[in-house]
């Protein structure tokens, strides 16, 4: 069974700190991997998408890396801000037509 695991489940940091969220997947034959942000009671916002042939993607203060062979991805957030507080979800897909398989997410709180 394809599974996605995210560690830690919850994280609280002071404002300004750099942080790393971890994601691992059991089947390394992924098509691509996406990181999403979800605010309480809201839908998902796509943050970064990494194709299986890529090793990282960057957007502003966010950097996502992918090590396909070891089945791991990390999301690095630089200089965290209270507005970054949300749940971050990692998801993989195994072909161009199959649905995403989600992890349970990491709930991030950035304290001012």
Partner 1 sequence: GAVVSQHPSRVICKSGTSVKIECRSLDFQATTMFWYRQFPKQSLMLMATSNEGSKATYEQGVEKDKFLINHASLTLSTLTVTSAHPEDSSFYICSARDARGAGNTIYFGEGSWLTVV
Query: Which residues of the shown chain bind partner 1 in the complex (CB under 8 A)?
Result: 31-32, 34, 36, 41-46, 49, 51, 89, 93, 96-97, 99-105
Query: Residue 55 or 104: which CB sits closer to partner 1?
Result: 104
Cα–Cα distance measured from residue 54 to residue 97, given in angstroms and rounded to the nearest whole number: 19
Per DSSP, what are the bridge partners of residue 101?
Answer: 92
Which DSSP symbol is given to 83? G
Query: Do 82 and 110 meet the contact criterion of CB atoms below 8 Å apart?
Result: yes
Of 77 and 91, the one with the shorter C-beta distance to partner 1 is 91
End-to-end CA gap in the chain? 40
- Nearest distance in Å: CB 17, partner 1: 24
Q: How far is the CB of 44 from partner 1 (least distance, A)?
A: 4
Nearest distance, CB of residue 90 and partner 1, angstroms: 10
Closer by beta carbon to partner 1, 69 or else 97: 97
> Strand pairing partners for 61?
none
């Amino acid at each position: 069974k394809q599974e996605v695991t995210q560690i830690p489940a919850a994280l609280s940091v002071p404002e300004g700190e750099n942080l790393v969220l971890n994601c691992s997947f059991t089947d390394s034959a992924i098509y691509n991997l996406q990181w999403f942000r979800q605010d309480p009671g809201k839908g998902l916002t796509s943050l970064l998408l990494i194709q299986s042939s890529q090793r990282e993607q960057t957007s502003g203060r966010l950097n996502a890396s992918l090590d396909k062979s070891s089945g791991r991805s990390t999301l690095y957030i630089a200089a965290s801000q209270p507005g970054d507080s949300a749940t971050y979800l990692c998801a993989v897909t195994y072909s161009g037509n199959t649905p995403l398989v989600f992890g349970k997410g990491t709930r991030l709180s950035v304290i001012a």
